[in-house]
Structure 1
Amino acid sequence: MAGHVVIVGAGMAGLRAAEQLRAAGWDRAVTVVGAEKHLPYNRPPLSKELLAGRTGAGGVAEAHAAAAFRRRKSVADVAWRLGVPAVQASLSAKTLKLADGTRLAYDGLVVASGLRPRRAPIPGPQAGRYVLRTLDDAVALRDLLVPGRSVLIMGGGFIGCEVAATARRAGCEVTVVEPCAEPMERALGPELGRVLRRHHEDQGVRFVTGRLVSEFLGEDDRVSAAILDDGTLVPADLVIESTGSRANVEWLEGNGLDLHDGVLCDNSLRVEGLPGVVAVGDVARFPNPRFDDVPRRVEHWCIPADTAKRAAATLAADLGVQPHDEALFAPAPFAPVPSFWSDQYDVRVQSFGAPALGERCELLDGGLDHPRALNGGVAMAYYRDRQMVGVVLVGMPAARHRHYRDLVANAPAPA
């Protein structure tokens, strides 16, 4: 049996991969390489509790203590190389080069390098423009959200809307600029997007939809306003860009891989079917036969754990681990049910499946008349052809979530 596995990425996906490798019987060396200086931590609180200062008040150390994952005893002997990103890999030579010049040889490689925020190439001042992806980002932004400050949020997706809620509760004047007709429309459709927009507007958030920022204005390289593509001027002491993400795959270039949107994998999470190389988390682009055979990345909180379990079994088998559980090494097709949630003010949005694949939607429960939709709860189903591909719940009691998840999980797969 070979002797060293390197995991590139020290976030949730990297941690879960290390834990699942141990669970699969891999008892030899594991090294986790991470670009951030922090041990793995939970990201959902970054746009909510941590950004608001409700947890982890103080500096970065206090914030990390509040958000850090508890690591299982099985990974106590894992080596962590933090604050030193991978810059180049040679899959043929099985070597990895780090930013400090260190070279690591490996027998098995786990790609868990995740995502980074997409930055818009907009002319004008740069100071005052922020993104929110890391613990350091959240701590840097937290002290800037003060009453009366004008905050412009570029992008009305889930992160943008969560940040809008946090900033508004902090007393900021908040404007969200979103190119679609409604916030969160790509994921939820216009019907639920409209309901949630009205909920934000009730709290004082202003939405400018169907528009893009074309230029920033200001003095001394600091933003004071934005000009939209229709000429509208929007005051902005602070800009938070939430316009999507890019996969961290540059370190894999030169190996003949398909890296146009993450790392292309087969259904076992092998990178393009290469033995000894797997990918996990939101950088992995894999087919889910629950929906079809099209490889896709999935940026949901559950995906690191789901993909880590399958990828660890795949990699352990490739490296010659003798299975203690035959079912683990000869599993059924990998067909997870993606899920995510978003807390905005006092309302939770919960999704199961892949509603963005839906071609039409159907109201299963509740109504869409605002504010009745939020008070009583809403369940919306999403269909592609005759298959239910997703369900989204808004304000629905947690006791009813399992029922709707099962509707998606038990929906017949496409022939």
Structure 2
Amino acid sequence: MTAHVAVVGGSLAGLRTAEQLRAAGHTGPVTVFGAERHLPYNRPPLSKELLYAPGAASPGELHAKVAFRRRASVADVTFRLGTPVVAADLPGGRLSLQDGSSVAYDGLVAATGLRPRRLELPGPHAGRHVLRTLEDCVALRGGLRPGAAVVVLGAGFIGCEVAATALRLGCRVTVVEPGGGPMQRVLGARLADGIRRHHEAAGITFVIGRSAARFLGEGSVTGVGLDDGSTLAAEAVVEAVGSVPNTEWLAGNGSLDLSDGVLCDNRLMARGAERLVAAGDIARFPNPLFDDVPRRVEHWSIPTDTAKRAAATLTEALTGAGAGPGDRVPFAPVPSFWSDQLDLRFQSFGSPALADEVRVEEGDPDRPADGVLATCHRRSAHVGTIAVNLPPARQRELRAAFTTLPAAV
């Protein structure tokens, strides 16, 4: 087929969708549009290995360490990098680019992912960091000098990973979290409390139940003012307070629901649009493994899983063919992610954040380095598994067991 497919988003989801379009039999032109000037690369090392890397490496040097290998199947795919798509005319099948040009397409993939949420607070901007791109990593690394006071706002997984890396670099690290213990939304209160004590024993300070109210300093940040009137000294501040889906370029197409990513059906076709699919953590879709509620999933496994289904769905739409045998099966991926912090490795399967109860099945939460297994339940149905410092073979068993569970409805 000769239809032109435009993939908007040049990260993992965009790359995997291009690969899966070829695997699904699409032989026409494919163009991947990326806002960054780098070819697709692996982001998890940004808060760990790359952030810890010595020297003032450039983004290009870091990219060489984490760039994804391009498979032969996408050798003829065009990558247009560093020129974001700013608007889409879905009825007309045309994209508008930031450089003023426009491009026609026959099929469209939304894979623009997320950006870090920023705090709208008074005070200077210099010295405030987020972590999403190679450039972010280089900028933050420059502020992580031995002895520097570093304040991390947010105790989710990214915030805790950055805190652990900064501590390894010799910084004095304080984590501020208004909502409870570190990673509590996923780990539950009991395990989160044990992780907090483990990290505190290593040297990280936690301020729980408080939030930032303002940034102090003239020209550059020198501290953070909290909502109780207290202050924390800070030579660098990391804002790790969540993400925002990059959907603005789809605005103006009134039939789309962009209230939280792109609302899709179970086959990842956008609701209210033809020949538009979504892939990666911008896609909001129902997963029958849990229930029929559409949700976005920000786990590392999701770009690859959604790319395969989205590519098959779009290829069928462009050819007019019905769903293939594999695509009549409900799309029910098992989300998974991992996190490395100090001497701890976390592995998660399913959607622990949906749980209303977390049960510690093995180990002692107060000694997480010795290994802990927790299961996450919603109305008694198993919706997630958390492993801390369990061996790889045991983790594989847990994942296999999870995929056999009935839908948790």
Q: Tell me if TM exceeds 0.5.
A: yes
Task: Please list the CA deviations of residues 142-168 of structure 1 after superposition, one character each: whole Å capped at 9, or x if unmatched.
Answer: 122111100000100000000000000
C-alpha spacing 1:177/1:399, structure 2 compared with 1 (3 Å):
same
Segment of structure 1 superposing worse, 163-172 or 181-190: 181-190
2 CA distance for matches of 1:358 and 1:68?
Answer: 35
Instruction: Determine the structure 1 residue equivalent to 2:397.
Output: 403
In the TM superposition, 1:275-354 aligns within 5 A as 275-320=274-319, 326-328=324-326, 330-354=327-351
Q: Which amino acid aligns with 2:45?
A: P
1 CA distance for matches of 2:223 and 2:272?
Answer: 49
Which residue among 215, 218, 223 is the counterpart of 1:225?
223
Work out whether residues 226 and 234 of structure 1, in 8 Å CA contact, stay in contact via their aligned partners in 2. yes
2 CA distance for matches of 1:331 and 1:306?
Answer: 16
TM-score using structure 1 length:
0.96
Instruction: Determine the structure 2 residue equivalent to 1:36.
Output: 36
In the TM superposition, 1:386-397 aligns within 5 A as 386-397=380-391
SS at match of 1:123: coil
Structure 2: gaps of 5 or more residues: none
Which residue among 339, 349, 355 is the counterpart of 2:352?
355
Instruction: Determine the structure 1 residue equivalent to 2:369.
Output: 374
Residue 273 of structure 1: CA displacement? 5.4
2 CA distance for matches of 1:208 and 1:407?
Answer: 37
Q: Which amino acid aligns with 1:253?
A: A
In the TM superposition, 1:8-47 aligns within 5 A as 8-47=8-47
Instruction: Determine the structure 2 residue equivalent to 1:170.
Output: 169
Instruction: Determine the structure 1 residue equivalent to 2:88.
Output: 89
Work out whether residues 17 and 311 of structure 1, in 8 Å CA contact, stay in contact via their aligned partners in 2. yes
1 CA distance for matches of 2:358 and 2:111?
Answer: 34
Work out whether residues 152 and 238 of structure 1, in 8 Å CA contact, stay in contact via their aligned partners in 2. yes
SS at match of 1:28: coil
Residue 402 of structure 1: CA displacement? 1.7
Work out whether residues 2 and 319 of structure 1, in 8 Å CA contact, stay in contact via their aligned partners in 2. no
Work out whether residues 116 and 243 of structure 2, in 8 Å CA contact, stay in contact via their aligned partners in 1. yes
Residue 405 of structure 1: CA displacement? 1.5
1 CA distance for matches of 2:224 and 2:202?
Answer: 23
2 CA distance for matches of 1:303 and 1:232?
Answer: 40
Residue 321 of structure 1: CA displacement? 7.3
Aligned pair 1:413/2:407, yes or no? Answer: yes
2 CA distance for matches of 1:229 and 1:211?
Answer: 6
Instruction: Determine the structure 2 residue equivalent to 1:136.
Output: 135
2 CA distance for matches of 1:287 and 1:21?
Answer: 22
Work out whether residues 266 and 273 of structure 1, in 8 Å CA contact, stay in contact via their aligned partners in 2. no
Instruction: Determine the structure 2 residue equivalent to 1:53.
Output: 53
Q: Give the aligned length.
A: 408
Segment of structure 1 superposing worse, 356-365 or 338-347: 356-365
SS at match of 2:36: coil
SS at match of 1:92: coil
Segment of structure 1 superposing worse, 292-301 or 404-413: 404-413
Q: Which amino acid aligns with 1:350?
A: Q
Segment of structure 1 superposing worse, 56-65 or 293-302: 56-65
C-alpha spacing 1:35/1:341, structure 2 compared with 1 (3 Å):
same
Work out whether residues 25 and 321 of structure 1, in 8 Å CA contact, stay in contact via their aligned partners in 2. no
Aligned pair 1:160/2:150, yes or no? Answer: no
Work out whether residues 337 and 349 of structure 2, in 8 Å CA contact, stay in contact via their aligned partners in 1. yes
In the TM superposition, 1:196-235 aligns within 5 A as 196-219=195-218, 221-235=219-233
1 CA distance for matches of 2:333 and 2:50?
Answer: 30
SS at match of 2:144: coil
Instruction: Determine the structure 2 residue equivalent to 1:123.
Output: 122
1 CA distance for matches of 2:245 and 2:197?
Answer: 33
1 CA distance for matches of 2:248 and 2:58?
Answer: 31
Instruction: Determine the structure 2 residue equivalent to 1:252.
Output: 250
2 CA distance for matches of 1:199 and 1:363?
Answer: 17
Residue 414 of structure 1: CA displacement? 3.8
SS at match of 1:159: helix
User: How large is the Cα RMSD of the aligned pairs?
Assistant: 1.5
SS at match of 2:217: strand
1 CA distance for matches of 2:130 and 2:170?
Answer: 20
Residue 322 of structure 1: CA displacement? 6.5
Work out whether residues 56 and 142 of structure 2, in 8 Å CA contact, stay in contact via their aligned partners in 1. no
SS at match of 1:255: coil
TM-score using structure 2 length:
0.97
Task: Please list the CA deviations of residues 32-89 of structure 1 after superposition, one character each: whole Å capped at 9, or x if unmatched.
Answer: 00100000000000000000006x9722211000010001100001111100001000
Structure 1: gaps of 5 or more residues: none
